[in-house]
Chain A
């Protein structure tokens, strides 16, 4: 019977096309559509702030250089990962991340909680030549980040696109995007005050690359790396971390 049915189906090109589309559509619809409608999918984090223009520019450099190929930004709910990297990642922490950079491979360590772990000077030295600070490292050198000036004239358009997609950037933030990018890396300039005003007092405002007077790609990338895991404290507040009650932790091995 089934074979008879299939012999009929095989005789119709259009029927076969429709059958393939129908059969293949089910899985994705069942798994993806509810992620937009079930509220528990993403936690609430009222304290979460958006990336500053400089941090967003740094994130775009991270994207451009393909850092996701070797670094994850997703700490799994496993004991050894929490002890190595910090509290496991929550969905809300990447809710402004377009694209998400969870990664799939750790040739280098996870970076989800990198922010604040090392000094700016360490990051700059490490990016210029990783083997100067970690002799065994196999990471590429990124010397050109220090050489190249950061492009900031189009940052308003970046923020505008994000706003259209639902990221809560205000019109004021969009208007001042270029000035805020300059101000965040130049604490003595007149632009610095506006950054704290729009993005919060806790925002890092300093010369990230150690070279005052020039706004380089290094400034932006280090500013981004220093904010990783620090847009919200939600992950530090979860009960699971405090009690150590993780989902599943096949931690010890023979």
Chain B
């Protein structure tokens, strides 16, 4: 991959890595006796490892000018590998922490890092940012070039984004193990990791805008609307939510500039829109490209695309306060959040309906092709979980569901059923294109993965629906005498069978992801073993998926 870079790009990469290594050294020196020092060493080792790879190919011959006539896909390929790696890592910790709720002594080691509270964000960050984020970066760079019919503006900045983003994920995860966290849900990393992510994100945005400026297509394709909304709004959310004052520049700990009720509102404005713009908008971008491509059908309706896009961009930003019903947040904000959450059903179902209607005329392919079936099931789960989300945002429903496993079940209906399924579908479509193979190494393993994933999701979601609703009912049930009928621990004991079932569901899903990672690895291996290179040049996207054509 280094061989694809020009000499000057390699030199610049080395300069950046040197600076990064020096920054790590400075953190290690200044943060002695603080956890920041440990993170300094992590940065140093990370920079050193990347520099090692770079140096191994540093003196390879330069690529010829003909590279400019092709799309630049090396970062996408690396991103796919990272995506599958993070999937297995994040889901493994998910299974582990879920098992801890059924068998609390299952830590094997009496160590702080292996306690539930520290591993739980390892799971959420691993799957959301590690798995989801890498999938978004990898696919967006691919889709952007095809739908713009333009090459990425340079070869170094996409690498900077991909590797820099993974450094952020590594800092986040290693931090939780050591005890570095802000305890802001889905925004746990501390201030220096947050600042680093902003740097990475600005470069990501610049790649996008520079490529769009050079596009050969008059229109910006709908997938790019979503990817752009994802990049832009996540930047705003991340910066606003993470504003904090460190206790010193050499310490890992910081205090948020917001407190109490304002902090809660900002946090859930962020939290819910991380769902909207990280876990929805970006993945809708994926769906709007890979599903029509794989089904070989144009998008059903251009107008529905417009309605759903602007509806999601506008409505979602109001919905976060539904996480705070009946709390100390002023009621007018709660009511606004509920109202907009219900209205959100319109754009959400427009997208889900648009996706399913796109498959009209291609249902025989859905039957035969597990890859396309992944995407179809994803659209169905997108519809189910957005309906459920609007329903749970209703105050009186929320009084039952909030604080219970129902929320956990809802999140996983979206995360497993929608986000992971559309990702796996897209990756199974993308991998053969990227490595110039006719199919995946084993289409039968894709089929196996599909059924493992679907079974796991259904077991998981049903277990959590049951446990959540039982929990909510037990907490509010009164005995004849007018006193509460159940103690808290009664409700916990009642959860035990569902927690076991949930772990089983998670195991199925993890097994599926592992099969997928193996299949991707074997496909890449087969491509490498094929000595004959220079197969047909990658053809720019056909007009079939352009909007409104």
**Chain A min CB distance to B362 (Å):** 26
The segment out of B83-91, B181-189, B512-520, B532-540 that lies at the interface is B181-189
For A80, the chain B residues whose CB sits under 8 A away are 475-476, 478, 484
The segment out of A29-37, A189-197, A202-210 that lies at the interface is A29-37
Annotate A119-153 by CB proximity to B: 1 below 8 A, 0 otherwise: 00000000000110010111111111000000000
For A200, the chain B residues whose CB sits under 8 A away are none
Give complex CA distance A235, B476 in Å. 22
The answer to whether A158 and B260 have CB atoms under 8 Å apart is no
* Interface residue A68 (Cβ < 8 Å from any Cβ of B): yes
**Chain B min CB distance to A232 (Å):** 12
**Chain A min CB distance to B204 (Å):** 13
The answer to whether A104 and B336 have CB atoms under 8 Å apart is no
B interface residue numbers (CB < 8 A to A): 34, 100-102, 104, 107, 110-112, 115-118, 120-121, 176, 179-185, 209, 212-213, 218-220, 225, 228-229, 232-233, 236, 240, 245-248, 251, 253-267, 269, 302-303, 306, 310, 313-321, 323-331, 333, 336-337, 340, 395-396, 399-400, 402-404, 407-408, 473, 475-478, 483-484, 488-489, 492-493, 547
Give complex CA distance A74, B254 in Å. 23
With A63-B183, A108-B492, A160-B247 already in contact, 20 other A-B pairs whose C-beta atoms are closer than 8 Å: A31-B333, A31-B337, A41-B262, A66-B116, A66-B176, A66-B183, A83-B483, A83-B484, A84-B484, A95-B259, A97-B260, A98-B258, A100-B259, A107-B492, A131-B104, A134-B489, A138-B101, A144-B110, A158-B253, A161-B247
How many chain A residues touch B (CB < 8 A): the figure is 97
For A94, the chain B residues whose CB sits under 8 A away are 259-261, 263-264, 328
For B269, the chain A residues whose CB sits under 8 A away are 28, 31-32
For B100, the chain A residues whose CB sits under 8 A away are 138, 140
The answer to whether A26 and B314 have CB atoms under 8 Å apart is yes
For B403, the chain A residues whose CB sits under 8 A away are 72, 103-106, 110
One of B110, B112, B181, B265 near A32 (C-beta < 8 A) = B265
**Chain A min CB distance to B474 (Å):** 10
Within A62-82, the residues touching B (CB, 8 Å) are 62-70, 72, 74, 76-78, 80-81
One of B120, B264, B310 near A23 (C-beta < 8 A) = B310
The answer to whether B330 and A41 have CB atoms under 8 Å apart is yes
The answer to whether A157 and B251 have CB atoms under 8 Å apart is yes
The answer to whether A17 and B232 have CB atoms under 8 Å apart is yes
Residue of B nearest to A21 (CB): B232
For A2, the chain B residues whose CB sits under 8 A away are 306
Give complex CA distance A92, B116 in Å. 30
Give complex CA distance A248, B325 in Å. 11
Give complex CA distance A2, B307 in Å. 11
The answer to whether B219 and A140 have CB atoms under 8 Å apart is no
One of B110, B303, B316, B330 near A40 (C-beta < 8 A) = B330
Give complex CA distance A11, B220 in Å. 6
The 10 tightest CB contacts between A and B, nearest first, are A66-B117, A27-B317, A76-B326, A27-B318, A94-B260, A91-B328, A13-B212, A140-B115, A91-B261, A106-B403
Give complex CA distance A94, B488 in Å. 24
Residue of A nearest to B319 (CB): A27
For A105, the chain B residues whose CB sits under 8 A away are 403-404, 407-408
The answer to whether B475 and A24 have CB atoms under 8 Å apart is no
Given contacts A32-B266, A66-B121, A250-B396, is CB(A16)–CB(B473) below 8 Å?
Answer: no
Give complex CA distance A136, B121 in Å. 24
* Interface residue A47 (Cβ < 8 Å from any Cβ of B): no
Given contacts A41-B330, A99-B256, is CB(A154)–CB(B493) below 8 Å?
Answer: no
Residue of B nearest to A158 (CB): B247
For A83, the chain B residues whose CB sits under 8 A away are 483-484
* Interface residue A240 (Cβ < 8 Å from any Cβ of B): no
Within A4-60, the residues touching B (CB, 8 Å) are 6-7, 10-11, 13-14, 16-17, 20-21, 23-28, 30-32, 35-36, 38, 40-42, 60
What would 18 A/B residue contacts be, using CB atoms closer than 8 Å?
A2-B306, A28-B240, A31-B269, A35-B265, A38-B330, A76-B399, A76-B402, A78-B326, A88-B328, A91-B329, A98-B257, A104-B185, A107-B492, A138-B102, A140-B100, A158-B255, A165-B255, A248-B396
For A23, the chain B residues whose CB sits under 8 A away are 310, 313-314
For A16, the chain B residues whose CB sits under 8 A away are 220, 225, 228
* Interface residue A243 (Cβ < 8 Å from any Cβ of B): no
The answer to whether B104 and A247 have CB atoms under 8 Å apart is no
For B266, the chain A residues whose CB sits under 8 A away are 32
For A97, the chain B residues whose CB sits under 8 A away are 259-260, 263
For A65, the chain B residues whose CB sits under 8 A away are 112, 115, 117-118, 179
For B488, the chain A residues whose CB sits under 8 A away are 84, 108-109
For A199, the chain B residues whose CB sits under 8 A away are none
Give complex CA distance A216, B314 in Å. 50
Give complex CA distance A225, B333 in Å. 30
